[in-house]
């Protein structure tokens, strides 16, 4: 709210500052003002710092700090950090925290260098501006934040693969989850013995990414307001970018508000699912969605166990997945009802905005700034709930697990 952060005279009002701070910390990307023109360089740096901190996570950052300062970590801190990093065991927390740092710096600096060179050489930006824009978009993409220092987000780069592809790869890397990287490069897993989490996350993410690319390309191919004027390569490029961004990144290379209703509906599904666990993406997470899919598939086939490959899915994981989906659906429904009652926004754009906030995506059809104060406050609560709610719920469910020495008689109520 300081005058130093705002480009015009005076300071930002409380709601604008709060909305921006929450959106940045929760790595969402929704904005009620133009990031490029409303905020000064200092204001943009505050946003930059907030989504970097939000992406790394408070506990992960604390773990890294402990390692750097003392080269060791206490058992108590390992237990606390495990809840944030989703490490496979207490002994893995240090390794996961190190990989958080290594992967983050490696991806962000590499992508920042590519983007900065491109902005300077091809778009004639001065070196300081090119470096800042490159670093800002690199960190924003890896943390799935969706903030941009350009007023049109990435629409001016709709035909530039040197901008869109590095950003897409960065947001995929950040959204897939740190435990996947830790297991991928772990010395203990070089024989190809991968965990169920690793395989479900990679396969689930890949399938959803490809399905999204095909559907976006199909529905927008002839839309003159989005993909229509582009050549074949650019249409495929932007379909891929839109599919990757819909997994809670929030960047857009075409005007989302001009997309077809079918495309917006596909967005709703992909945004709600989100990315991998313990990464920078939001949503209910790929593993949650896949676990429920396997449960339904096993039920359809009449199998007594829900399995993936040659492993059975733990009953506790099934219950937790079901709880996350039902609670998330309830929160989205409640948020939608609240905003419907205080605004006259059409239903599809409104639901799009609600899910975008809850899943910390940041994509918008352009209605955010025009919403009434109560609707903006609702979006703030949704962003916060979406960022911390699922993790908190899972931790609570896991901690409440108890062993009873008795069982009640079973009954079978009619289902369906």
- Tens digits of per-residue pLDDT, 319-344? 888 888 998 999 999 999 999 999 99
Mean pLDDT of 91-103: 70
Among candidate residues 269, 280, 267, the one with its CA nearest the CA of residue 329: 269
In a domain, 416, yes or no: no
pLDDT at 55: 85
Asked if residues 66 and 73 have their Cβ atoms less than 8 Å apart, the reply is yes
Q: Do the domain assignments include residue 406?
A: no
Q: Looking at residue 140, what is its pLDDT? A: 94
Structure tokens at 356: 């975008």
User: What pLDDT, on the 0 to 100 scale, is given for residue 268?
Assistant: 95
Q: How far apart are CA 30 and CA 171, in angstroms?
A: 16
Which residue reads 């710092």 in tokens? 49
Entry pTM: 0.88
Q: What are phi and psi of 162, to 5 degrees?
A: -70, -20
Residue 414: inside a domain: no
* pLDDT at position 66 over 90: no
Burial of residue 69 (number of CB atoms within 10 Å: 0-12, 13-18, 19+): exposed
**244 phi and psi, to 5 degrees?**
-65, -40
Q: Which domain holds residue 141?
A: 3-399
d(CA 404, CA 157): 59
Handedness of CA 122, 123, 124, 128 (dihedral sign): negative
Phi-psi map region of 88: left, alpha, beta (phi>0 left; psi -120 to 50 alpha): alpha
Mean per-residue pLDDT, 94-108: 79
Position 203 pLDDT exceeds 80: yes
Residue 410 lies in a domain: no
pLDDT at 281: 83
- Of 11-25, 54-68, 138-152, 343-357, least confident by mean pLDDT is 54-68
Which pair of tokens denotes residue 139? 């960190």
Q: How far apart are CA 232 and CA 138, in angstroms?
A: 27
Q: Which residue has the higher pLDDT, 250 or 189?
A: 250
pLDDT value at residue 269: 95
Q: How confident is the prediction for the chain on average, in pLDDT?
A: 86
- Residue 404 falls within a domain, yes or no? no
* Whether the Cβ atoms of residue 61 and residue 53 lie closer than 8 Å to each other: yes
What are the phi and psi torsion angles at 311 (to 5°)? Answer: -125, 140
**What are the tens digits of pLDDT across the range 134-192?**
999 999 999 999 999 999 999 999 999 999 999 999 999 988 887 787 777 766 555 55
Percent of the chain at pLDDT > 90 equals: 61
Looking up tokens 């991928």 gives 184
411 assigned to some structural domain: no
Tokens of 285: 């997470």
Question: Is-contact 47 59, C-beta < 8 A?
Answer: no
- Spatial separation of the C-alpha atoms in residues 4 and 328, rounded to whole Å: 38
CA atoms within 13 A on the CB side of 406: 2
For residue 60, pLDDT over 90 is answered with no
pLDDT of 398 strictly over 70 = no
Question: How large is the average pLDDT for residues 363-391?
Answer: 89
Torsion of Cα atoms, 127 then 123 then 159 then 137, to 10°: 20
pLDDT digits (tens, 9 = 90+) for 208-246: 999 999 999 999 999 999 999 999 999 999 999 999 999
User: Residue 95: is its pLDDT beyond 80?
Assistant: no
Phi, psi values for residue 88, rounded to 5°: -70, -20
- Pairwise pLDDT comparison (68 vs 398), residue with the higher score: 398
Quote the CA–CA distance of 121 and 127 in Å, as a whole number: 9
Q: Which two tokens stand for residue 126?
A: 């001065």
| Number of folded domains that form the chain | 1
pLDDT tier at 101, thresholds 50, 70, 90:
confident
Helices (H), 194-231: 196-220
328 vs 205, 318, 331, 389, 414, CA distance in Å?
20, 15, 5, 9, 25
CA distance 85 to 264: 32
Residue 309 domain flag: yes
Using pLDDT thresholds of 50, 70 and 90, give the confidence band for residue 77: low
What is the pLDDT, as a whole number, of residue 247?
84
The structure tokens listed for 88 are 């496979």
pLDDT at 72 over 70: no
- In terms of pLDDT, which residue wins out, 412 or 368? 368
- Per the domain annotation, does 361 fall within a domain? yes
Q: What is the pLDDT of residue 74?
A: 59
Which H or E run contains 320? helix 315-342
Beta bridge partners of 311: 308
Q: How far apart are CA 182 and CA 205, in angstroms?
A: 17
Provide the pLDDT for residue 163.
96
Burial 27-61, CB ≥16 within 10 A → b, else e: bbbbbbbebbebbeeebbebbbebbbebbbbebbb
How far is Cα 165 from Cα 370, in angstroms, rounded to an integer? Answer: 32
Greater model confidence, 94 or 78: 94
């Amino acid at each position: 709210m300081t005058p130093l952060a705002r480009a015009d005279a005076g300071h930002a009002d409380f709601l604008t500052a709060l909305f921006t701070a929450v959106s940045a910390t929760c790595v969402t990307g929704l904005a009620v003002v133009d990031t490029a023109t409303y905020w000064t360089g200092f204001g943009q740096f505050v946003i930059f710092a907030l989504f970097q901190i939000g992406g790394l996570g408070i506990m992960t950052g604390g773990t890294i700090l402990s390692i750097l300062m003392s080269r060791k970590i206490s058992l108590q801190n390992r237990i606390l950090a495990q809840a944030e990093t989703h490490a496979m065991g207490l002994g893995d927390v240090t390794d996961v925290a190190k990989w958080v740092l290594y992967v983050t710096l490696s991806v962000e600096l590499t992508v920042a260098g590519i983007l900065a060179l491109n902005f300077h050489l091809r778009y004639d930006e001065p070196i300081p501006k090119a470096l800042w824009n490159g670093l800002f978009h690199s960190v924003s993409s890896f943390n799935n934040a969706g903030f941009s220092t350009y007023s049109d987000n990435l629409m001016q780069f709709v035909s530039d693969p040197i901008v869109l592809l590095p950003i897409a790869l960065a947001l995929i890397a950040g959204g897939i989850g740190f435990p996947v990287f830790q297991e991928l490069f772990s010395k203990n897993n070089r024989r190809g013995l991968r965990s169920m989490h690793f395989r479900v996350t990679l396969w689930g993410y890949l399938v959803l990414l490809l399905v999204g690319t095909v559907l976006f390309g199909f529905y927008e191919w002839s839309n003159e307001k989005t993909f229509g004027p582009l050549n074949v390569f650019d249409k495929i490029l932007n379909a891929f970018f839109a599919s990757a961004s819909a997994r809670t990144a929030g960047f857009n290379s075409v005007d989302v508000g001009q997309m077809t209703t079918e495309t917006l509906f596909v967005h709703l599904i992909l945004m709600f699912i989100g990315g991998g666990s313990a990464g920078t993406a939001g949503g209910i997470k790929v593993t949650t969605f896949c676990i429920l899919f396997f449960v339904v598939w096993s039920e359809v086939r009449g199998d007594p166990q829900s399995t993936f490959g040659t492993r059975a899915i733990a009953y506790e994981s099934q219950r937790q997945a079901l709880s996350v989906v039902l609670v998330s659906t309830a929160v989205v429904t409640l948020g939608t009802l609240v905003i419907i009652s205080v605004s006259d926004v059409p239903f599809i754009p409104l639901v799009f905005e609600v899910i975008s906030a809850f899943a910390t995506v940041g994509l918008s059809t352009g209605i955010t700034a025009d919403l009434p104060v109560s609707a903006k406050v609702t979006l703030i609560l949704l962003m916060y709930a979406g960022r911390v709610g699922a993790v908190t719920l899972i931790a609570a469910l896991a901690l409440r697990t108890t062993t009873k020495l008795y069982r009640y008689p079973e009954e079978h109520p009619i289902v369906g």
